[in-house]
């Protein structure tokens, strides 16, 4: 079915929608429309829509509203394409679209509902870890689904569409990871990423663990870091199977490109084979000093999708070693661990109406 295209001049953009593109001024060229399923005809909420120029470079990006509507702004007149991404489905690109100066173009995307097939992805014998895997490779397919989930999660939290009743904890553990003391608390708020990281450029240069006057500082990755060019260029990716007989998940493992003296992170992004939904991000620290047990220092972030397509962080935890200095010793050793984390117990609308409860 051919998309419906309507051209208008000088029509302002819909004020309801939030554009994520980094454009300093509002240009005169606007492309707006709606995203619906080609089979069902129903609007698709939280779909990712990008505006690509003639060189296929992204010039603006947004996420569809609950009614499937979107607005994009072009930096100038010219030829563009729309790209639609929906979690669990193959991406869709429009034919070339010509935007004239001062023009507003209405475009209805009827996106084919072709599922992404992860069931057939397996760990191959020559499963090399690749920096920026090429399109068509299994690792690239998994990364595209990870990117969709992370971007939608980011928008869900930024728009403050939901409130979350969260239970948090802080623990002190001994060297064997047995709890010595614990503090718990609960809060109700709009939520956010469970920790704030450092700029990606800084992490690529100095690593995820750096020394300070009080001892080593362990930095956790946030969405901005995971999606950044510095992270993608300093880490390689490969397909990984879960341990045991668990066939419900498939993993996209990442590890740092070898670089002496830089303490980094490695881990796995676990996806549901059936739905292609991101479930868990696990990571641990690498290239640590001998006293720091890297395999036991790291974190975990769990994701969950709401019925309307919004995503949020269901739970998280991070564990880091505690430094101990002994009199007369030439270096520090391990005293124990500190651990922090939390779990969402209830999801409510922004107005306070309960919509989802977890045990």
The whole-number pLDDT of residue 15 equals 33
The whole-number pLDDT of residue 329 equals 60
What confidence tens digit (pLDDT) does each residue in 152-161 have?
999 888 888 8
Where do the structural domains in the chain lie, given as residue ranges? 5-111, 138-357
Q: Indicate whether 16 pLDDT > 70.
A: no
Confidence category of residue 327, pLDDT binned at 50, 70, 90: low
What confidence tens digit (pLDDT) does each residue in 88-136 have?
999 999 999 999 998 999 999 999 999 998 988 888 767 788 898 888 7
Of how many residues is the chain composed?
359
- The burial of 326, by beta-carbon neighbours within 10 Å (0-12 exposed, 13-18 middle, 19 or more buried), is given as exposed
The strand pair at 298-305 and 278-286 is best described as: antiparallel
Tell me the pTM: 0.85
| 5-111 has CATH 3.90.650.10 classification | no
Across all residues in the chain, what is the average pLDDT?
87
The whole-number pLDDT of residue 156 equals 87
What confidence tens digit (pLDDT) does each residue in 252-297 have?
999 999 887 789 999 999 999 999 999 999 999 999 887 777 678 9
Query: Quick one: how far is CA 127 from the chain centroid?
Result: 24
The strand pair at 179-189 and 58-63 is best described as: unpaired
CA gap 31, 94 in Å, rounded: 13
The whole-number pLDDT of residue 14 equals 33
Query: Do 332 and 322 touch, CB atoms closer than 8 A?
Result: no
Q: Indicate whether 149 pLDDT > 80.
A: yes
Helices (H), ranges, the chain:
138-158, 200-206, 223-226, 229-234
What confidence tens digit (pLDDT) does each residue in 21-42 have?
444 444 479 999 999 999 999 9
- Within the chain, how many helices (H) and strands (E) appear? 4, 21
Mean local confidence (pLDDT), 193-214: 86
Instruction: Give the rounded percent of residues in the chain with a pLDDT score beyond 70.
Output: 89
Q: Indicate whether 7 pLDDT > 60.
A: no
Query: Do 141 and 66 touch, CB atoms closer than 8 A?
Result: no
In angstroms and rounded to an integer, the radius of gyration of the C-alpha atoms of the chain is 23
CA gap 278, 300 in Å, rounded: 13
Higher pLDDT, 192 or 235: 235
Q: Indicate whether 309 pLDDT > 50.
A: yes
The whole-number pLDDT of residue 328 equals 61
């Amino acid at each position: 079915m051919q998309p419906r295209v309507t051209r208008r001049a000088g029509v302002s953009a819909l004020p309801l929608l939030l554009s994520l593109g980094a454009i300093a001024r509002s240009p005169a060229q606007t492309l707006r429309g709606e995203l619906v399923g080609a089979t069902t005809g129903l609007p698709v909420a939280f779909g990712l829509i990008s505006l690509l120029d003639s060189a296929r470079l992204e010039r603006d990006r947004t996420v569809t509203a609950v009614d499937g509507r979107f607005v994009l702004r072009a930096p100038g007149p010219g030829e563009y394409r729309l790209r639609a991404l929906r979690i669990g489905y193959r991406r869709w690109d429009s034919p070339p679209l010509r935007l004239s100066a001062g023009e507003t173009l209405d475009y209805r995307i009827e996106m084919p509902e072709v599922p992404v097939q992860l069931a057939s992805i397996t760990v191959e014998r020559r499963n090399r870890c690749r920096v920026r895997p090429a399109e068509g490779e299994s690792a690239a397919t998994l990364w595209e689904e990870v990117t969709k989930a992370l971007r939608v999660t980011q928008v869900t939290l930024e728009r403050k569409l939901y409130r979350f009743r969260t239970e948090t904890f802080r623990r002190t553990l001994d060297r064997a990871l047995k709890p010595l003391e614990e503090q718990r608390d609960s809060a109700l708020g709009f939520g956010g990423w469970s920790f704030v990281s450092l700029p990606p450029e800084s992490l690529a240069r100095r690593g995820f663990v750096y020394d300070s006057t009080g001892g080593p500082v362990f930095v956790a990755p946030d969405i901005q870091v995971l999606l950044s060019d510095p992270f993608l260029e300093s880490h390689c990716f490969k397909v990984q199977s879960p341990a045991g007989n668990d066939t419900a998940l498939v993993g996209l493992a990442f590890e740092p490109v070898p670089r002496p003296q830089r303490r980094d992170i490695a881990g796995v992004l676990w996806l549901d084979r059936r739905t292609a939904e991101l479930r868990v991000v696990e990571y641990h620290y690498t290239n640590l000093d001998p006293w720091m047990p890297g395999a036991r220092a790291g974190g975990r972030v769990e994701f969950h999708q709401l019925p309307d397509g919004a995503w949020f962080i269901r739970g998280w935890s991070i564990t880091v070693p505690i430094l101990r200095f002994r009199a007369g010793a030439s270096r520090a050793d391990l005293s124990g661990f500190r651990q922090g984390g939390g779990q969402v117990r209830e999801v409510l609308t922004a107005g306070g109406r309960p919509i989802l409860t977890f045990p």
